[in-house]
Amino acid sequence: ATGQRKMCKPRMGAMMDPAEVDVICAFLKGTDVMFEFGSGGSTAEWARRVAKVYAAEHIDEWAQRVTTLLGEEGITNAEVVSRPPDMAAFAELMPGCTLRGITEAGVLPDWCSPNFDEKWREAPTEHRATVFHDYIHAIGDVGESRFDVVLVDSRCRGECAIAALPYLDQNSVLIIHDWNLEEEGPVNDGYLKLPP
């Protein structure tokens, strides 16, 4: 019918509510360059709507799987960069902590589950940032000086959002999806201290 908004329906199965996908799509333009922390079906959907999308992934096997799926769908303007966690730092800083959501599959399909282990959730931001240093800073590895849209939807959301700031300007949009999944600890306090 006329006057109805066109819904943005993911074809590869983005792990988001369709209304959330639709809200994010409202910010996307065909000329945009986008960075996504996390990858999957959503990466394909964004690629259909922007000029270029980069997606950082912390599980190499999942990065390869998403890259294959993108190729099967004929998507050529998306690039998945794999930045695994520093497992030596994890072992040193998080002794006894479960690997779920770090390198092990959790309750959700593939490596989507957050790590609900209190040792991880209540760890100092510096420890989590050390374990995921390469992932958090992947945004600086793709050769772009600025992004129109950055979507944070994976590990260390607060730290990734902070790392994205130098790549944003007054016309950019930063979206943090599912903030409460993993970030209910010390990072919230640090994030709230961001400059306006």
Given its phi and psi angles, is residue 3 left (phi above 0), alpha (psi -120 to 50 degrees) or beta? left
pTM assigned to the model = 0.82
Q: What is the pLDDT along the chain (196 residues), one digit of tens a residue?
A: 343 333 444 345 667 888 888 999 999 999 999 999 999 889 999 999 999 999 999 988 889 989 999 999 999 999 999 999 999 999 999 888 888 778 764 444 444 556 667 888 788 889 989 999 999 999 999 999 999 999 998 888 889 999 999 999 999 999 998 766 554 444 444 444 444 3
Please tell me the number of Cα atoms within 13 Å of 20 on its side-chain side.
11
Give CA–CA dist 122/170, Å, rounded. Answer: 33
Q: Are 182 and 155 in contact (CB under 8 A)?
A: yes
Nearest to 191 by CA among 157, 167, 166, 168: 157
Residue 102 buriedness (CB in 10 A; 0-12 / 13-18 / 19+): buried
